[in-house]
Structure 1
Amino acid sequence: MKLGPKAAAAALIVSAALALTACGGGATGANPAAAKTTTLTLGTVQEIRSWDPAQAHVGHILQPYQAAYDSLLLRQPDGKLSPMLATAWKYNDTNTKLTLDLRTDVTFSDGAKFDAEAAKANLDHFKTANGPQMAQLTAVTGVTVVDADTIELNLTTPDPSLEFYLSQAAGLMGSPKALGTEAIKTEPVGSGPYVMDKAATVKDSQSVFTARKDYWNKDLQKFQKVTFKTLTDLTARTNALVSGQVDATLLDPKTGKQAEGAKMTLAANQVDWQGLLLMDRDGAKNAPLGNVKVRQAINYAFDRKTILEQVLLGQGTPTSQPFGKESGAWTEELENYYSYDPAKAKQLLKEAGYETGVTLEVPSVPGFETQLAVVKQQLADVGITLNVGSALTNTFTSDIAAQKFTTMYFSLFQGEPWVAINQIVSTKALYNAFKNTTPELQAKIDAVQTGGKDAGKLAQEVNKYVVEQAWFAPMFRVNQMYYHNSKVTVTPQIQQAVPSIYNYAPAS
């Protein structure tokens, strides 16, 4: 990333970029005067448990934090990174030191100044606060203050996903005076475009924010008030949207029909893939899974298109690869690598010595009951028995890490290549609980880590390896069904189920 100007020119670049994003990438937005009379109400799927920026999550949960906190880098709807609190950034030749130039005209809502010391305080706090995304800064050994508006992030090894993380949870900046206090858990103190209205905020019900008067970039403030209504129940979200209680929310293919009947607009976006994780690839607990032909047979057993139509009303794209189109690791040749071929599945089982059958044990995953029923039937058609056990609980991540499950049906995020590799492929990945690897695969992973701007292309080789070796049995990429009314324009955010807060604007 090339270094650029630090002052007026950068401010103009940032203002233009953010204004474009907030207006929906070219959609007509409100002028600043009109924005002061508008409100935005969003139906969210989960309550924020702590407003400490170090406790921020990603996915559905990142959006509310963006109201209160700016991030170091801004991620545009198409995934490109732009300046925000950092005006420019650059790696050294070995990609082990990232230098960031910072804005000099920003304050937090408590009056504290944003500068290099404040940025360091936040990054240090993030690394030690035991938040859900603390692994985002695993490669960062320390932060050095170079001068009042420059910091250096020192890395043990290159991390191709670090810039992405600085636009996510790790990049959120809170007031250094508030970090680590009890107060910030219930009331955020950031430099963002909105401040919390404590009187109107109700725990487990709604969080209300108003436009900050002295915010540094007025182009972001498209609304006078933003309300996040916590609606964990899908039916409740649907009813709230149709009745006008919320302007936008996340639904699913079935409830989406009701929304469309009420003239709501769909902003579809493919973020996750669904399918089987065949995690015991060395056969440590389930011997047949150690045979690649068995794993390949599982893949050939599925009529992905039919399953998609039956379960999700066609809202998605059948696929054989776990890396998404936007990641850079996706390739056309792997999209339909495993066609529906039950005869070939049976032949592969015979060649592997399992002609008499294979048994797979999977946990029940709430919300995926229909998928599991169809998967169970299609596997049975080729001689594979799928036993569905007890439901996943809130300890499922520790259960996965403890190798409780050899196989599971799940939905996983298709992120940037290095993010995805460290989620599902590398020996550090949660969803590679059995630490499966080979020298060939590790060499491909190492190439991605040190590949710099070529990381996405190099990750195609990792993708090809895990598809050919049938580490997974992907079914389809799922359409995220995000609906909104005619009062607002909404631009989907790449690789996010819900848009960033900057992607909304008044419709007129």
Structure 2
Amino acid sequence: MKFGPKTTATAAVIGSALMLTACSGGAGASGTAPQAASAALTIGTTQDVRSWDPAQAHVGHLLQPYQAAYDTLILRDPDGKLSPMLATEWKYNTENTKLTVDLREGVTFSDGAVFDAAAAKANLDHFREANGPQMAQLKSVEDVKVVDADTIDIELKAADPALEYFLSQAAGLMGSPEALGTEGIKTEPVGSGPYVMDKAATVKDSQAVFTAREGYWNKDLQKYQKLTLKVLTDPTARTNALVSGQVDATLLDPKTGKQAEGAKMILAANEVDWQGLILFDRDGKANPALKDVRVRQAINYAFDRKTILDQVLLGQGTPTSQPFGKASGAWTEELENYYSYDPAKAKALLKEAGYENGLTLEVPGIPDFQTQISVVKQQLADVGITLNVGAALTNTFTSDIAAQKFSSMYFSLFQGQPTVAIDQIVSTQALYNPFKNTSSDLQADIDAVRNGGDKAPELAQKVNKYVVENAWFAPLFRVNQMYYHNAKVDVVPQTQQAVPSIYNYSPAK
């Protein structure tokens, strides 16, 4: 099945910096010769993949490894635009409750299986059933139906503006239907992607080694003959590996970044997350003081955001009062510095709310944020708020949050597309809204975003304004992802992603 000229994919592909060599169903398998095909690339990663089953893929740092072996249905360009990949075209029905996807022909998986509509359905069904970490990406999907050999219909329970984005992420990874759910795919990926794993050279929790796959359908994305993902959990170890030439690119932090810059490594900075306090208990169920919006606003006025950023992160970021990032479309200039540093105003608001003699906040400890929390504690104390820091988060922290164990916490959160962010931190289904706070006005604004189509980012500005004015959070700053590389490789940051996509690396010109 082929659509007419006005399709989502056709609009998205124009001007793409990484436009594929052929965007119609008749893409050539040969393409053009990859640049510097004999070159090797070694990337320092923060952790190893737990399972290579595509349904177990994660986001952020842990999406990148899967891109070596698996194509996604939709390609997300460095600037966030969506372009064809295994899906050549896609189009919603009038109600935005059915997405018809036309699939690329002539593509095979590394085990020889054919990619077609049945394979795409098998992957999407498997993702929905496999209980992976990003299973919620397809929570809006009611059913996937095969229309013909190269077309599927994705039927939704309700409109989901984030679906196309998710199909460029974990939910869109396509593995061989013959390997899905098997024991073998847990340790050796079987996809249609640009690289295949060298099992003999791969060592668990040490390195994953890939070689260029013969006959890959898009040689423009296959820029290296060999790709190694070297696992280095410690930032100092990653720095030493980069400076010594063991790796070509890796993620560091402001402190280790200084050493890298001293060795003439190149920074590809990218603001992805925001850090600050999440004031979970806005109805005062566990901490009555947090029910009063004046208390939550006072907390926001207590912080000298720029000083904290300069002292703790060496200025690597941007002070902000809003939890939605610039690339989301929900960001507005008027909310950027909505809460200025004003201790006197903070004290006045506390007095109005009946807390002239102070109040106490309880937060869990966060090993990676000990310095930030200590500075936050001091600045809150300056306006009469005591911050008690409890036991450190454990690997059960997501279930602890859902169980309303914390009334507030200091954390770092991803600034994604509007509906992605809403479903992470604002809606009553959001993990980071465990007390399920809402209002009729807020819910109406959220519903408008979900049904807003192309206007969703603009409509999300009202959601952003609501949570800022009502001080649901106390954001401090958006943080630079400190991604460094040597002069042998060119690296383009990926918007709203902790590390670049595999396709964003190329031999230096």
In structure 2, what is the Cα distance between the partners aligned to 1:506 and 1:438? 52
SS in 2 for 1:308: helix
- 1:216 maps to which residue? 217
The residue type paired with residue 261 of structure 1 is: G
* Structure 2 counterpart of 1:363: 364
1: CA distance between counterparts of 2:469 and 2:435?
A: 19
Q: Partner residue of 1:53? A: 54
CA distance 1:163–1:131, change in 2 (3 Å): same
Q: Tell me: CA distance 1:4–1:310, structure 2 relative to 1, closer, same or farther (3 Å).
A: farther
> Counterpart of 2:25?
none
Q: How does 1:421-460 map to 2 (within 5 A)?
A: 421-460=422-461
Equivalent residue runs for 1:271-310 within 5 Å: 271-310=272-311
1:267 paired residue number: 268
What residue number does 1:233 align with? 234
Instruction: Note the C-alpha offset of 1:34.
Output: 5.2
Cα distance in 1 for partners of 2:15, 2:352 equals 62
Kept after mapping to 1: 8 A contact 2:20/2:218: no
**Post-superposition shift, 1:14?**
10
Q: Is contact 2:16–2:77 with CA below 8 Å preserved after alignment?
A: no
Q: Please name the residue that 1:196 is paired with.
A: 197
Number of the residue aligned with 1:505: 506
1:17 and 1:82 in contact (8 A); partners too: no
Specify the alignment match of 2:346 in structure 1.
Answer: 345
Q: Hey, what's the Cα distance between the residues in 2 that align with 1:202 and 1:383?
A: 53
Please say if 1:97 is aligned against 2:116. no
| Deviation of 1:15 (Å) | 13
Post-superposition offset of 1:230: 0.5
> Counterpart of 2:292 in structure 1: which amino acid?
N
May I ask how many residue pairs the two structures share in their alignment? 494
CA contact (8 A) 1:140 1:154 kept: yes
Give the root-mean-square deviation of aligned CA atoms: 1.7
8 Å Cα contact 2:268/2:492 also seen in 1: yes
Structure 1 pair 494/429, CA: closer, same or farther in 2 (3 Å)?
Answer: same
Percent sequence identity is: 79
Tell me, what secondary structure is at the counterpart of 1:289?
A: helix
Instruction: Find the aligned partners of 1:306 and 1:326 in 2 and give their Cα distance.
Output: 25
Amino acid at match of 2:433: N
CA contact (8 A) 2:34 2:219 kept: no
Q: Deviations over 1:187-234 (max 9, x none)?
A: 000000000000100011000000001100111111000000011111
Structure-2 separation of matches of 1:454 and 1:405 = 35
Give 2:149's aligned residue. Answer: 148
Amino acid at match of 1:32: A
1:492 corresponds in structure 2 to 493
Instruction: State how far apart, in whole Å, the 1-side matches of 2:316 and 2:309 are.
Output: 7
Give the Cα separation in 2 of the matches to 1:73 and 1:470: 36
SS at match of 1:367: helix
Within 1, Cα distance between the matches of 2:385 and 2:15? Answer: 57
- Is 1:180 the counterpart of 2:214? The answer is no
Task: Kindly indicate whether the alpha-carbon contact (under 8 Å) linking 1:5 and 1:88 is maintained by their aligned counterparts in 2.
Answer: no
Q: 2:411 matched to which residue of 1?
A: 410
Secondary structure of the residue aligned to 1:443 is helix
Whether 2:337 is the aligned partner of 1:336: answer: yes
| Closer, same or farther: CA 129–288 of 1 in aligned 2, 3 Å | same
Does structure 1 retain, via aligned residues, the 8 Å contact 2:99–2:153? yes
Partners of 1:15 and 1:217 within 8 A in 2:
no
Alignment of 1:7-156 (within 5 A): 18=18, 32=33, 35-156=36-157
Matched with 2:167 is: 166
Distance of 1:360 and 1:79 partners within structure 2: 38
- Matches of 1:507 and 1:215 in 2, distance apart? 23
Q: Distance in 2 between matches of 1:18 and 1:456?
A: 24
Residue 311, structure 1, aligned to residue 312, structure 2: yes
- Looking at structure 2, the residues matched to 15 and 93 of structure 1 have their Cα atoms a distance apart, in angstroms, of 27
TM-score, structure 1 normalization: 0.95
Q: Distance in 2 between matches of 1:201 and 1:47?
A: 11
Other structure's SS at 1:241 match: helix
Contact 1:19 1:220 in 2 (8 A): no
Q: Report the secondary structure of 2:367's partner residue.
A: coil
Q: Where do 5+ consecutive residues of structure 2 fail to align?
A: 22-31
Counterpart of 2:176, as a letter, is S
**Could you list the per-position Cα deviations for residues 285-330 of structure 1 after superposition, in whole angstroms to 9, with x for gaps in the alignment?**
0000000000000000000000000000000000000000000000
Superposed displacement of residue 3, structure 1 = 4.2
1:32 is paired with a residue whose SS is: coil
Distance in 2, matches of 1:261 and 1:152, equals 53
* Superposed displacement of residue 36, structure 1: 2.1
Task: Work out whether residues 5 and 87 of structure 1, in 8 Å CA contact, stay in contact via their aligned partners in 2.
Answer: no
Query: C-alpha separation between the residues in 1 aligned to 2:351 and 2:342?
Result: 15
Distance 1:16 1:163, change over 3 A: closer
Cα distance per residue 1:310-369 (max 9 Å; x no partner): 000000000000000000000000000000000000000000011111100000011100
Distance 2:127 2:370 in 1: 37
Q: Deviation at 1:32?
A: 3.1
Question: Structure 1 residue 463: deviation in Å?
Answer: 0.2
Go from structure 1 to structure 2 and tell me whether the alpha carbon gap of 1:46 and 1:320 turns closer, same or farther (over 3 Å shift): same
Is the contact made by 1:85 and 1:102 (CA closer than 8 Å) also made in structure 2?
A: yes
Letter in 1 for 2:47: Q
> Contact 2:34–2:222 at 8 Å: present in 1 too?
no
Task: Report the CA distance between 1:102 and its aligned residue.
Answer: 0.3
Q: For residue 278 of structure 1, what is the amino acid of its counterpart? A: L
Matched-pair contact (CA < 8 Å) for 2:324–2:464: yes
